[in-house]
Structure 1
């Protein structure tokens, strides 16, 4: 399928059916920690990159085939709110009677249309990685049209109208936003946002910039204490939903959106009685696959083709 993938294991949303309504790496941020690399299509203009009806067709088909999911999640391989029809897609997806989540960088919440689009989602998970303009520019590297204070005000306004849960995600990067001073600034903003949950995350997969490192454990612990957060810094576990008849291609599809560790690939292969050595060897000889060593683990990443680029 082109727009829907999964179910995939999620440390926040259980078994999540992912929906990507935008082309790969189409975003208004170019975060230093992004697991998909630097942003290729840097834009802050909302539009329909794909036919919404085609996306819905895949959603309904996938739900029929996967009744054991916990959420339908709009996440994209960039920023999903750049999809102009996301509000319509959310409302239609809710007709399946499964809860709908949106994972977003939150940058466009200053736009009233975006706030209204996300209002009916059961869970919205915006990012807030900085408590001031200087750190915001260093870590998120936003489109020139996005200003820190405007973004924060949009988050505050959305918190007043949302109907579902609001879970804030804070990605900590060593030396950028992991000091007590930086974390306290984020805490001060969150007092006016009043989220239902705060999650702390760290770059567990190879980041866009190799110098974007995981903070020291003491810094993570201090952040947890200050933000009273849920910590999801560890590696996720759980099964990926794949078609065993096309196992190699299915693994490559996952690696386009979600860099896989070598041990995860082995688990997928063994589940279907396929020798992991054969698949991994084939991946190492595949020019579309990049193997990266990060924190003593081996990851496999596939660079997606840029379809639907505007």
Structure 2
């Protein structure tokens, strides 16, 4: 079965075994974050569209669920920003008709300034917006948004959404050394969090190769300070799980995963072991020679992602 929109389940430290739905073309976003694990954004846009027919996504989802496998949550995450999908609200409702597993949406939060988007997200069981900057300047440096997107509007939208939303609101702050993790930055984040009605805040730092080489991870001391001051949870401290795919061919299965979720050499080895793949070395040779794939050495570990 060729999969265009569904992938996984993939291990999520926040959500468990996550079955992904991608309703957005690759690298289509209203941000071009300096830390993005998919690389730089190719198609910057603020226009919401039905990029792929809703019925096609739902049909593929139904077919995939005919296979027997375990997952904890359905995550609408995309290869870009999922709130750009104009039928997001309908997608959430249709998925919930098919499965009783919770439906999550991972978003950069930029379009929370739109009441239409906020209303659509009300139907999700879990919403995970990110807050990377604490003012216009830091948000622009880290997220590099479209010129029409402003931090103040986004934050006001998030605050408004948090007042009405009945599901789990899980925030994420991506901490980057020398940019948003000093004491002054943490104080600003603390003031912002006071205004939002959320369930949990996760603190992260780029663990996979970022879009820009100048991005630096925070030190253990910086992360510890942020966790203590913000009452957050370091994603690094959460356990991860195994990748999974119903695609029979191991190489095609890996390609399907890394289109949306880069994998490092150890994750690929573990994935191949779980499938009792005897020719793992051939898989790595193909990955290294495939012109569609970037092999990046980051912190001494090889990570594979689509170009």
**Which TM-score applies when normalising by structure 2?**
0.95
Q: 1:276 aligns with which of 280, 289, 298?
A: 280
Alignment partner, residue 143 of structure 2: 140
Alignment partner, residue 20 of structure 2: 18
Any idea what SS the aligned residue of 2:25 has? coil
Q: 2:215 aligns with which of 209, 212, 216?
A: 212
Q: 1:194 aligns with which of 191, 194, 197?
A: 197
For 1:188 and 1:63, how far apart are their aligned partners in 2? 43
**Which TM-score applies when normalising by structure 1?**
0.94
Confirm or deny: 8 A CA contact 1:291 1:301 kept in the other structure.
yes
Alignment partner, residue 307 of structure 1: none
RMSD: 1.4
Residue 237 of structure 1 deviates from its aligned partner by 3.3
For 1:35 and 1:225, how far apart are their aligned partners in 2? 27
When residues 159 and 12 of structure 1 are mapped into structure 2, their CA distance, relative to the original with a 3 A threshold, is: same
When residues 93 and 52 of structure 1 are mapped into structure 2, their CA distance, relative to the original with a 3 A threshold, is: same
Residue 259 of structure 1 deviates from its aligned partner by 1.2
Residue 274 of structure 1 deviates from its aligned partner by 2.0
Unaligned runs of 5+ in 2: none
| Deviation digits for residues 199-239 of structure 1 (CA, Å, limit 9, x no counterpart) | 00110000000111101111111110111011103686322
Q: 1:92 aligns with which of 91, 94, 97?
A: 94
More displaced 10-residue stretch of structure 1: 272-281 or 186-195: 272-281
The residue correspondences of 1:62-141 to structure 2 (distance < 5 A) are 62-66=64-68, 68-95=70-97, 96-141=99-144
- Aligned residues, how many? 303
When residues 214 and 234 of structure 1 are mapped into structure 2, their CA distance, relative to the original with a 3 A threshold, is: farther
For 1:147 and 1:286, how far apart are their aligned partners in 2? 39
Residue 66 of structure 1 deviates from its aligned partner by 4.6
Any idea what SS the aligned residue of 1:245 has? coil
Q: 1:286 aligns with which of 280, 283, 290?
A: 290
Residue 243 of structure 1 deviates from its aligned partner by 3.9
For 1:266 and 1:235, how far apart are their aligned partners in 2? 21
Unaligned runs of 5+ in 1: 304-310
Confirm or deny: 8 A CA contact 2:81 2:107 kept in the other structure.
yes
Any idea what SS the aligned residue of 1:17 has? strand
Confirm or deny: 8 A CA contact 2:38 2:306 kept in the other structure.
no
Q: 1:57 aligns with which of 55, 59, 63?
A: 59
For 1:14 and 1:218, how far apart are their aligned partners in 2? 27
For 1:67 and 1:247, how far apart are their aligned partners in 2? 17
